[in-house]
A and B are shown apart, each in its own frame.
Chain A
Amino acid sequence: MGKSQNLLQGTLDLLILHALQHETMHGYAIAQTIHLLSDEVLTVEEGSLYPALSRLELDACISSSWGLSENNRRAKYYKITARGKKILAGQQESWKRLSAAVQQVLAR
């Protein structure tokens, strides 16, 4: 895992947790949600998405179970855990501070 990914990963984790905040969904739906919510600016590749999901699951931020998708196919559904919610809240806070700081820097 290269270093440049770290930043991205952190952000991706935040986005995934955010997407799962109110709803249980499978991997593709998560990618779609992020894509749509970002007004199609952000595209999540499967090569980044699934490792991130696995890591989050190992970290007990999300849990998963197999179920049937809307078009009747087997899919793995992810759900945020209590720990995930806590981490999400913390990350949101630091993200806000970071982005504000970055904006402040850029504004000068």
Chain B
Amino acid sequence: MTSLGRTLRKLLRRRRLHAEMEAELAHHRELSRENGNPIGLGNVTAAKESTLDLWRFTLLENAWRDIRHAFRSLRRRPAYTITAVGSLALGIGVCTAMFTVLNAVALRPLPYANPQQLVWVTQVLKANNTDEITFTPDFLDWRAGNRTFQSMAAYNENTRSLTGIAEPIEVHTVKASAALLPLLGISPLLGRNLPQNADFAGHEHVALLSHAIWRSRFGADRSIVGKPILLDGEQYIVTGVLPGRFLFPGVEQVDIVTGLGKNEAGELARDGKVFTAVRNVIGRLQPGITNEQARQDLMVIQAHLPLPPWMPTITIKVLSLRDHLFGNAKITGVVLVAGSLLFLLIASSNVGSLSLVRLMQRDRELAIRRVLGAARARVISQLLIESSLLAVFAAALGLFLAMGIRSLLIAFGPYRLSIYGNLPIDMRVVAFASVLLVLTILVFGMLPALRMSDFHLGEAIAAGQTSIAGKRHNLRLLSIVGAAEIAIVIALSSSAALMLESFWNMRYKELGFESQHAIAATINLGSSRYDDKNREFAFINQLLERAAAIPGVEAVTPTVASEIPPGEGHNTNNARIEGRPLPTNSRLKAIHQAQEVSGAYFKILRIPLLEGRLLRDSDTANNLPVVVVNSQFAKRYFPGESALGHRLQTGERENAWYTIVGVVGDVKTSGLAAPPQPVVYTPYEQSDGGRLRDLGVIIRSALPVGSIAPEFRKIVHDLDPEQPVAGIATIDQRLNASVSRPRFTADILFVFSCFGVLLAIIGVYGVVTCRARAQMREIAVRQALGAQRTAIISNILGQAIRLVVPGLLAGIALAFLGNRLISGLLFEVKPGDPAALVVVCAGIVLAALAASFLPALRASRLDPLVSLRQD
């Protein structure tokens, strides 16, 4: 090592050495001359050259020569090189990309000061159902009385309209404690943080702008601080602008932060007059305090606080902020990285066996080089250099691939956490990729090189052995690797098949309606202008009338935005059915989802009418109140009789009786994964209009959404220039978005298993080729003794089957195990669904046999004379 160091140092100093030598020789000659000395007068140039020769170094020279040699030899075999580089690059790329996810969700520190002290706190309220939400007075008492937190802050997210700028838009805002940003360790880029008194009602009209909205909507105007902006028609004074690197600790990017504005005295009175809740509480623990200590501390305070009237049981949950944000994503990340490492292992062992095949094809070349005097170390180092060269190419390509996969993950990833950011590639990712590179070289580079070392090539050639790598135990190892690959691939593919089937069922099976040609727009009538019911209905009716007049529009209906299929969170109503006793038990009440629509709704979505009639445009506030129910409602509450003609009292209007005039088909409106619920459809004009403030408009048109949207926005703008449109999308787009997570998992698994199948095929090919090669002499002898070509092919295919069948059996076992793991993610698909498994197994077995056919054919075509004469 020291001599290598010295060598390298001298190599670097070579130019200077040259000058020094000139000086030294000059000195020598000078002295000779002065002394009149006979010494000297040799061949000066030769002296210099031969001295400099010593400064050249066999090791590095050889390495360079080997690299060039390796280049040439890789270029001579493009098929091998492309396959090897391709599979390694795939492995490294997938691993690195998956690692960026894990890195972002589990390893990178959250972008706040001392993030390990940050926790997310919530009350867990258990009554009929479980809610994670915190009562404001309780939060205030925690904040005042705790001994384990440095600071606590609360915030609620909501969507508001930002108006008074060029074009009104919907913005994502939070109402937050003034303490929130200091707690996170963030200070504004411009201006000041929210003032302390913004926590109190009446003082909350202050706003912090996000860097993004400041730049996009306010032209990065530095004088914005102190000026007013309009949110839902109310004035807020801008106190500051947040820094661009700030990421809000939540799911969505936050555009504007305003004051929390709670009536603290009223809340703390707990007299029921003011009683609100906060959705998020973030705290910074005192140094050295654990989550559990903090929870105990808060529970002590909670024990002294009164319960609300419906008497839920209250417990408290304290999660580290990272776990709150990334809980599931972390597990997913670990699983993905582990899976992709396995994948890389397959890829490297594949390439290992491929290069072994190559080694066998080159054994003569290597043996001859050995006989001609190349040191064994040189031959091995040459092989290693070839492998390293491959691996370096693969790693470079893999990194590009990783960048590509990473942008796909960002674009299509269902985790829209703002903090997930853009999956940064930092030192950790680079280090990970480097470790992968080294591991790859070790796994696939050392394998063939080590095998070389147990052979004495010169002797091998003398003894007439055709193979230098054909030891039996090596072949057995190879076969085990091949079988293991098949097993893993079968397990992976069958999981992927199930996930795809599940996704398919969820997305397309039994929707109950047709989603084609339906476009949904949402408008949040949040402004106080629409507190007047007449104004609200006037707006809706004008909007419907003008939207119906857009060329190419066939029909238009209003609805409640959150009820547009596939539906989100649902309010449920209780209905009282005429002639039946008032139910006391909640189970007996006619619980249903309420929708406010027009008759066109059913036509647009092609929802079938089963009985009676649909809603009509004449069902207005002045006419007889009527409803249409779905078949679930009819079956559940009117078993064995017709629901038609019965009358209901629903939560919509006190004391009004609505007559059931029709029964329609069931529609999935509680998310695609949930079965249809009982639904009551009320004519929108007979409702009180409260829920229609969250207005949805569904349009039927064969035109693409891109040509309808501008027209629609223009109409809304004409009717109310201050009113933004929240969103316009086809129903299909909404359906796709709602299944984006299962779809993402299915897609990733599917892509993984496609790659896996590809690798397994390469693997089987490599193994079978290796075996065929090792048996060349045997085959030649058998051929010479009269064996038919078909016999030889079937012999080699037989060997392939002996490799595939154990892999298949192990794979089926593994698949059952793996499928049980994902059963929780499946929808209307049974784990261990034989159909999927059979298809997968058959496909893989066929592919494996096809991959073995090539080497078998090649072996059968060998001329026995040639292969025997080789010895």
Contact = CB atoms under 8 A, between A and B. Distances in A.
Interface of A: 1, 26-28, 31-32, 35, 43-48, 50-51, 54-55, 58, 60, 66, 69, 73-76
A50 to B, nearest CB: 5
Nearest to A66: B20
Given A45-B40, A55-B54, A76-B20, A28 B31 contact: yes
Contacts of B47: 46-48, 50-51
Given A1-B50, A26-B27, A28-B31, A47 B44 contact: yes
B568 interface: no
Contact of B42 (A27, A32, A46, A73): A46
B25 interface: yes
B42 A54 contact: no
A46 B27 contact: no
A90 B771 CA distance: 56
Interface string B11-43: 000000000110111011111100001111111
B43 A47 contact: yes
Nearest to A27: B28
B46 interface: yes
A89 B31 CA distance: 31
Given A27-B28, A28-B32, A75-B27, A48 B42 contact: yes
A102 B602 CA distance: 119
Contact of A47 (B23, B31, B42): B42
A45 B38 CA distance: 10
B46 A47 contact: yes
A54 B27 contact: no
A54 B25 contact: no
B50 A46 contact: no
B54 A28 contact: no
A45 B41 contact: yes
Given A51-B47, A54-B54, A74-B27, A45 B21 contact: no
Contacts of B25: 46, 50
Contacts of A48: 42, 47
B54 A50 contact: no
Q: Output the residue of A43, A44, A50, A73 with the most chain B CB within 10 A.
A: A50
A31 B10 CA distance: 25
B51 interface: yes
Nearest to B30: A73
5 contacts: A1-B50, A46-B29, A46-B39, A46-B47, A58-B55
Closest 6 A/B residue pairs (Cβ): A47-B42, A45-B42, A47-B47, A28-B31, A51-B51, A51-B50
Given A28-B31, A50-B51, A51-B54, A44 B24 contact: no
B552 to A, nearest CB: 87
Contacts of A1: 50
A51 B53 CA distance: 9
Contacts of B55: 54, 58
Q: Output the residue of B10, B21, B28, B54 with the most chain A CB within 10 A.
A: B28
A57 B20 CA distance: 14
Given A28-B28, A28-B32, A46 B51 contact: no
Interface residues of B, number: 27
Contacts of B29: 46
B204 to A, nearest CB: 79
B634 to A, nearest CB: 99
B14 to A, nearest CB: 12
Given A27-B24, A55-B54, A75-B27, 7 more contacts: A27-B27, A28-B31, A46-B44, A69-B27, A74-B23, A74-B27, A76-B23
A103 to B, nearest CB: 28
Given A32-B39, A35-B39, A51-B47, A46 B28 contact: yes
Contacts of B10: 58
A54 B49 CA distance: 12
Contacts, number: 69
B39 A31 contact: yes
B18 to A, nearest CB: 12
Contacts of B54: 51, 54-55, 58
A81 to B, nearest CB: 13
A72 B40 CA distance: 21
A60 B32 CA distance: 28
A32 B36 CA distance: 12
B27 A73 contact: yes
A20 to B, nearest CB: 16
Interface string B36-78: 0111111110110011001100000000000000000000000
Nearest to B42: A47
A51 B54 CA distance: 8
B13 to A, nearest CB: 12
Contacts of B32: 28
Contacts of B6: 58, 60
B394 to A, nearest CB: 38
B103 to A, nearest CB: 47
A22 to B, nearest CB: 21
Q: Output the residue of B23, B32, B38, B40 with the most chain A CB within 10 A.
A: B40
Q: Output the residue of B21, B43, B47 with the most chain A CB within 10 A.
A: B47
A50 B24 contact: yes
Contacts of B41: 45
Given A26-B27, A74-B27, A50 B21 contact: yes
A28 B27 CA distance: 8
Contacts of A69: 27
A55 to B, nearest CB: 6
A44 B39 contact: yes
A35 B37 CA distance: 11
A54 B37 CA distance: 23
Nearest to A57: B54
A47 B43 CA distance: 6
A26 B26 CA distance: 13
Contacts of A43: 38-39
Contacts of A35: 39
Contacts of A46: 25, 28-29, 39-40, 42, 44, 47
Q: Output the residue of B20, B27, B37 with the most chain A CB within 10 A.
A: B27
A43 B40 CA distance: 9
A66 B23 CA distance: 11
Contacts of B51: 50-51, 54
Contacts of A60: 6
A58 B245 CA distance: 56
Contacts of A73: 27, 30
A8 B38 CA distance: 20
A30 to B, nearest CB: 10
Nearest to B17: A54
A69 B31 CA distance: 11
Contacts of B23: 74, 76
Contact of B39 (A26, A45, A50): A45
A20 B44 CA distance: 24
Nearest to B27: A75
A46 B45 CA distance: 11
Contacts of B39: 31-32, 35, 43-46
A27 B31 CA distance: 10
Interface string B714-749: 000000000000000000000000000000000000
A69 B24 CA distance: 12
A39 to B, nearest CB: 14
B731 to A, nearest CB: 81
A27 B21 CA distance: 11
B581 to A, nearest CB: 107
Contacts of B50: 1, 47, 51
A44 B42 CA distance: 9
Q: Output the residue of A27, A35, A47, A48 with the most chain B CB within 10 A.
A: A47
Contacts of A26: 24, 27
Nearest to A43: B39
Contacts of B40: 45-46
A51 B49 CA distance: 9
Contacts of A55: 54
Q: Output the residue of A35, A54, A66, A73 with the most chain B CB within 10 A.
A: A54
